[in-house]
Amino acid sequence: MISTIPSNPACLGVFDSGVGGLTVLRELHRLLPEVPMLYVADAAHAPYGQREPDYIIQRSLIVAEHLIDQGARVLVVACNTATAHAIGALRQRWPELPIVGTEPGIKPAVAASRNGRIGVMATPSTIASARFADLIARHAGAAQVFSQPCPGLVALIERGELETPALHQLLAQLCQPLVDAQVDTVLMGCTHYPLVQPALQRVLGEQVKLLNIESAVAQQAAKQWQGLDLAAATAAPMLLTTGSADALTQFVQQALAWPLQAQALRL
């Protein structure tokens, strides 16, 4: 049975397994400061990148249904892993709802590379997905793509370890294969990774271009929202989490300098 969109006050819904999607939310709020936004961090079930596909689909459907019940008229899947495995199921469940996914931008990475050697850092689940393989097949062309799974990186970022010895050690380990491959462009294929971009840039070297995709995702979502011609009043984003509300509040205040209070969500 196809679910319908309820007639609640309109908002723009965004979700991720944790804090990574905040990079997309930040860009969305910059583009649409007058639009009410509701963000769900499914932290109690994070990281998605180390979960089985069926589990990711199940959690994505549950979180999306909550956002839609709360009035989401555009849904942003601000998670590469959830996009890779669950966006098809989401679009099948809510075919009338604009749903914007988050995928590694292989095409712009190819355009940005000088030597045709591109690195993609992503969660193990994203890299193992058929959707990721299809992106490479469709857009890589003659370029060589070196895929680097990054187990453990999201967990460190979720704990707020953005400049710690443990983070630096893990980044050095993860980046070494890309350095050895002499890539000149690296795509951050997870919305969490821009939160440690300065540390990542230092490990890769200043000669390597680092690309993220939150701006493109936010622009697409903004276009979808504007196409609905909905009235909106200025509002700060609302943050919900299935994990610790205090931890998310502390993270957004320290990492993003947002004076927002997160609320706990049982889902």
Is 160 annotated in a binding site? The answer is no
Is 42 annotated in a binding site? The answer is no
Is 192 annotated in a binding site? The answer is yes
Catalytic residue (one of 11, 79, 150, 175): 79
Is 249 annotated in a binding site? The answer is no
Catalytic residue (one of 11, 150, 175, 190): 190
Is 49 annotated in a binding site? The answer is yes
Tokens read off for 171? 């980044």
Q: What are the E-state strand segments in the chain? A: 11-16, 37-41, 72-77, 99-100, 117-122, 144-149, 185-188, 209-211, 238-241, 263-264
Nearest Cα to 214, choosing from 20, 63, 2, 4?
20
Residue that has been written with the tokens 């205090």 in this structure: 246
Is 48 annotated in a binding site? The answer is yes
**b/e per residue 238-257 (b: at least 16 CB within 10 A):** bbbbbbebebbbebbeebee
| Residue 175 is a catalytic residue | no
Is 80 annotated in a binding site? The answer is yes
| Residue 11 is a catalytic residue | no
DSSP letter for each residue of 202-255: HHH-TTSEEE--HHHHHHHHHHHHHHHT--------EEEESS-HHHHHHHHHHH
Tokens read off for 210? 């680092």
Is 191 annotated in a binding site? The answer is yes
Distance CA 160, CA 44 (A): 16
List phi, psi (to 5°) of 241.
-145, 140
Task: Show binding-site residues for substrate.
Answer: 16-17, 48-49, 80-81, 191-192
Task: Show binding-site residues.
Answer: 16-17, 48-49, 80-81, 191-192
User: Would you please indicate which residues are annotated as catalytic (active-site) residues?
Assistant: 79, 190
